[in-house]
Structure 1
């Protein structure tokens, strides 16, 4: 009963906030005001509270620009989690633009929509991302290309990492900073989140958005770790496939730090003295999660 009371309260507040926020953000985007990047941060912070997300940040976002963030992706709620921490924009799959309400949210946050399956469009899409990077926008790339079950990191797709090099070739920037970001959902109502509770937050592609949203609004109280890893500065000679593999390894190691409860890595901005190497035995543990 209490879960439904929470759902009614949270969904009502969310609807009211949305009715207020959407017209304002539309105005900010059309006018080109700086508020177009600042206002979504406030909106996502309210949304995170209503969803019951308790976010714990490890390390910090790099200050260098241009900056591309390479993150894992477990749920639609990743947008709220990251959007509540920093002023960022997202690289989203093209079909998101047509989703009811959430598509409008994505457009008003100035997301770049890409069609990953159409290789012929890869360069044009990379050019659009590169232009935004060169303009100083921090772009988030969910490099797996889809959502996982939240227990593991899927192989990173390499194609859109090329946007960082396109920014170097086609604009005035000489280098681009790429930073790994790991998102790990760890607890529900203070209890470690195992496989039984994982469906509460994970959102694989064949699960409808509506039930997932309703479930989170009803239950809430989810702890999530966000790790900002050591950034890497790349230039025109950097191999994008090597870059993608390195980012994948760093994201996987940070995620395991939360899921296994071990200090496997030290996030960006903190002392490196306590870093523990991530060896093959630890990576094998990940496959058992």
Structure 2
């Protein structure tokens, strides 16, 4: 069970929660006006910038993210990964369909052009792939967390290539850019893993004292047309992310404890694809 914050921790939690509500209020009206006039809205990205700062994140970007026609593939530690990456490049995300029904969070995700998918809807897989193709055709940058769940920042799970079917064959002009999230010394403290409930993790992160550095490494993009099929694309993206993580950490990654029998997956954060 997650330890409850002390009085100072509760004060930080309440203060940050109020600031998050204020950030929504600041961005809501101008975002609606941009949408009314059918203009590309910069406000979701600016909102994500506010979220990261309020939550104590001090983001450092390493490398250059592609601006359009790109499929980002990233490792996954926390719900914070979403605002961290989006604040750097304005990307949309692929998320589990359950997230779309979550109060407030589902609405916020739709404002950031999230593509919702359902792993239970086997008959609708083709339609989900079509939604992704439409998103990419509109020059969106789309991010997927192919591990299907979060880890402790010291490991990297096998990637699940199901939704990479959108890249088989790749739409014209689309590139794949691997992304490495490095939370450094606070990785295990921030990570949302195991049986911890989402609200408990949010309380723990938002009540935390001080700030912390997160480095977002945008690795060299590659052309998916150079790899025969989604499994090869998936393997290449994972190889590059693993190599970068090893180089950043200066030692090999370790196996994630119990990942083969992991029964509890954080809800609404990342799509769990199945082969």
SS of the aligned residue for 2:98 comes to: helix
Q: Give 1:122 deviation, angstroms.
A: 2.3
User: For residues 32 and 247 of structure 1, do their structure 2 counterparts lie closer, same or farther at Cα, with a shift above 3 Å needed?
Assistant: same
Aligned to 1:212: 201
- 1:130–1:166 CA contact under 8 A, matched in 2: no
Partner of 2:180: 182
Distance in 2 between the 1:9 and 1:138 partners?
33
Is the CA contact (8 Å cut-off) linking 1:131 and 1:167 kept in structure 2?
Answer: no
Seen in structure 2, the aligned counterparts of structure 1 residues 223 and 151 have a Cα distance that, compared at 3 Å, is same
d(CA) in 2 for partners of 1:72, 1:237: 21
How big is the shift at 1:225?
1.7
Q: Does 1:239 align with 2:229?
A: yes
CA deviations over 1:52-80 (Å, ceiling 9, x no partner):
012122111135x4210011111111011
Relative distance call for 1:118 and 1:50 in structure 2 (3 A) is same
Which residue of 2 is the match for residue 84 of structure 1?
87
- The answer to which of 3-12 and 75-84 deviates more is 3-12
> Of residues 138, 143, 157 in structure 1, which corresponds to 2:141?
138
CA distance in 2, matches of 1:22, 1:211: 27
Output the TM-score relative to the length of structure 1: 0.78
Determine helix, strand or coil for the equivalent of 2:207: helix
1:85 deviates by 0.7
Aligned length: 250
Indicate yes or no: 2:257 matched with 1:251.
Answer: no
Query: 1:286 is matched with which residue?
Result: 254
Sort the Cα spacing of 1:257 and 1:119 in 2 relative to 1 into closer, same or farther, 3 A.
farther
Match of 1:61 in 2: 65
1:88-107 aligned within 5 A = 88-107=91-110
Is 2:130 the counterpart of 1:127?
yes
Does 74-83 or 4-13 show the bigger shift? 4-13
Q: Shift of residue 149 of structure 1?
A: 2.9
* C-alpha distance in 2 between matches for 1:104 and 1:33: 19
Q: Pick from 42, 47, 62: which aligns with 2:46?
A: 42
Aligned partners of 1:141, 1:30: CA distance in 2, in Å? 29
Partners in 2 of 1:130 and 1:166 — Cα distance? 11
Quote the residue 1:19 is aligned against: 25
- Written as runs of structure 1 = structure 2, the 5 A alignment for 1:133-172 is 133-165=136-168, 168=171
Supply the distance in 1 between the matched residues of 2:36 and 2:100 (Cα, whole angstroms): 18
Aligned 8 A contact 2:61 2:216 in 1: yes
Aligned-partner Cα distance in 2 for 1:237–1:288: 28
User: What is the alpha-carbon distance in structure 1 between the residues aligned to residue 227 and residue 123 of structure 2?
Assistant: 23
TM-align CA RMSD: 2.3
Find the aligned partners of 1:177 and 1:243 in 2 and give their Cα distance. 11
Pairwise CA distance, 1:176: 1.8
CA contact 2:170–2:225 (8 Å) conserved in 1: no
**8 Å contact from structure 1 (residues 126, 166) kept in 2:** no
Q: Per the alignment, in what secondary structure is the counterpart of residue 232 of structure 1?
A: coil
Using the TM superposition, name which of 54-63 and 233-242 deviates more: 233-242
- SS of equivalent residue, structure 1 residue 183: strand
Query: What is the deviation of 1:107?
Result: 0.9
- Render the CA deviation track for 1:80-104: whole Å, top value 9, x for unaligned: 1011111210111111111222111
